[in-house]
Structure 1
Amino acid sequence: MIKHLLLVEDEPLAQARISEIIRKHRPDWVIADSAQSIVELDKALENQDLFDLILCDIHLADGLSFKAFQRKKIKVPVIFITAYDAYALQSFDHNCIDYVLKPIQEERLIQAFEKVENLGQLPAERAISSDFVENFLRNYSEKSYKKRFLTKSGSKLSFTPVEQIAYFYADRGITFLVESGSSNKFIVDHSLNELENGLLDPNKFYRINRSFIINLDSLIEMKPFNNGRLALSLNAKSDEAIVVARERVNEFKTWINQ
């Protein structure tokens, strides 16, 4: 029976999101300890008998959490959490371990909880093996996203850091980048599909409809809009209303509450 958890996570928003889901769906579960670095995880694993389950971010501020697992025999089921591509994990078939991608979807994390609960009768030693750790470290690679974009305005070329981007939008087959604050507009040589599928960090950027991708850090206000949609106010001007498509509203609310 799952009762006491070790939460390994260095992002405050993710910590709050996980805690909220546990309180809502597993109110009898207790986060008995937490760790935000490999050093803290090392210390917590010295008393792993106190835990029934470990929820563990893969990438911590000081490196991969697997470095701590290498140094100890882990007997506790682990649910891995990551903001990076999961292709490496898909090559491992280990029935006591699950993984959840960020931004954390409530239903997906609950499925992971249920998987561990259903496997509770299996020997604890099967939770994680040294072979699994070694193979993972050999195959795991972090997903890197663009840090800046080459932009065009007339004959002028320049670079715009992603931190200065309020949103992208497409108009008649041309993709534009709009800067935060100044609302300056530039042409970029990428489609919205390319931006959404690999170039932009999904924790920061979200495609709200067919024509717009917004930066979470640029969002100022949300208001109900007609037909169940949401109208957004960003820290940059737009010639048209910036609206979340109705079919994306629930997912958008979940994403923004990550």
Structure 2
Amino acid sequence: MKILLAEDEPLALKKIKIILERNFPHFEIFETVESVAEFEDAINSNDNYDLLLCDIHLADGLVFEALSRVSITCPIIFITAYDSYSLEAFNHFCLDYILKPIDEDRLIEAFSKYDRLRNDSSTPKVDTSVFEQILRNYTSKNYKKRFLAKFGSKFKFIPTEEISCFYSKDGITYLMKIGSTQKFIVDYNLNVLVEELLDPLKFYRINRSVIIHLDGLMEMRPYTNGRLSLTIDGPNLEDALVVAREKVSDFKNWINQ
């Protein structure tokens, strides 16, 4: 059983391979690609893949660009950090749609579903309940519009569009406003913020310590070891505003969305 894996994030790629090897040793990743161009070449040169695993944001654009130009007849499991493409995904033989960070049990469930469909003597069909669930989540998703933040002994509501960044230091999460150097304390850690409360089209976690707001981004510069150094409107966090090396490709796709 041959799989084509389209993924340009090394950590995500490694995790997918480990999950497959551990739980589905009969699944073979026949080829791995990192860009839309490579994906299209792989499909054109080998049209007998059994399953496609596709990140949506690749090194040179969206995988949908290639899918619109090639003929696909096998199921696709999309694995992405963005829920905003779920409706588009179901135009392309989508078997499942998994959000990053990848949950192992969730990916195992998707592979098990494919295994059941593959071994079913009847014509394989996509489970429509998956589409219905994603549609409900997509249409009802409400990101936080303002945050209650503490400054000294006072509390203040700060609209999300006024936020320049969130950052974590010594176990405390701080919020900073665009055009200001004041810092406010909020009662959420960065994982909760990026996974549940912030719009991923507007906010991006550039490293372990910092989440930036797209509207506050002013400048990008090359940094050591293939990283990027950022300047945002407001606070000066010095070395904290560096995009981690493994995130640079995805970050560039994010700002070009």
Contact in 2 for aligned 1:168/1:178 (Cα 8 Å): no
Structure 1 contact 5–29 (Cα < 8 Å) conserved: yes
Q: Quick check: 1:192 aligned with 2:184?
A: no
Match of 1:177 among 174, 179, 188: 174
- Residues 158-213 of structure 1: CA distance to partner in whole angstroms, max 9, x if unpaired? 98655x644664xxxxxx5189xxxx99315x5539835332869959xxxxxxxx
Match of 1:72 among 65, 70, 75: 70
Q: Distance in 1 between matches of 2:67 and 2:85?
A: 20
Q: What is the alpha-carbon distance in structure 2 between the residues aligned to residue 151 and residue 200 of structure 1?
A: 22
- For 2:85 and 2:52, how far apart are their aligned partners in 1? 22
| Secondary structure, aligned partner of 1:27 | coil
- C-alpha distance in 2, partners of 1:216/1:98? 28
Q: CA deviation at 1:30?
A: 1.5
Q: Is the Cα contact below 8 Å between 2:74 and 2:93 reproduced in 1?
A: no
- 1:229-240 → structure 2 map (5 Å cutoff): none
The corresponding residue for 2:208 is 216
Contact residue 54 and residue 78 of structure 1 kept, 8 A: yes
Cα separation, 1, equivalents of 2:63 and 2:88: 18
**2:35 partner amino acid:** S
Shift in Å, 1:32: 0.7
Match of 1:44 among 42, 45, 54: 42
**Match for 2:208: what amino acid?**
L
For residues 86 and 117 of structure 1, what CA distance do their matches in structure 2 show? 27
**Is the 8 Å Cα contact of residues 34 and 58 (structure 2) preserved in structure 1?**
yes
Aligned equivalent of 2:30: 32
Change (3 A) 1:54 1:47: same
Letter in 2 for 1:195: L
Query: Does the 8 A contact of 1:102 with 1:203 survive in 2?
Result: no
What's the offset of the Cα at 1:88? 3.6
Matches of 1:195 and 1:22 in 2, distance apart? 29
Identity %: 37
User: Residues of 2 paired with 1:32 and 1:203: CA distance?
Assistant: 32
How has the CA–CA distance of structure 1 residues 43 and 116 changed in structure 2, closer, same or farther, with 3 Å as cutoff?
A: same
Look up the equivalent residue of 1:192 and give its one-letter code: Y
TM-score calculated relative to the size of structure 2:
0.53
Matches within 5 A, 1:1-258: 3-85=1-83, 88-89=86-87, 92=90, 97-120=95-118, 121=120, 123=123, 161-162=165-166, 165-166=168-169, 169=172, 177=174, 186-188=183-185, 192=188, 195=193, 197-199=196-198, 204=205, 216=208
2:74 aligns to what SS in structure 1? coil
- Normalised by the size of structure 1, how large is the TM-score? 0.53
Distance (whole Å) between structure 1 residues aligned to residue 30 and residue 10 of structure 2: 17
- Work out the CA distance in 1 between the residues paired with 2:208 and 2:184: 21
Secondary structure, counterpart of 1:10 in structure 2: coil
Taking only aligned residues, the RMSD between alpha carbons, in angstroms, comes to 4.8
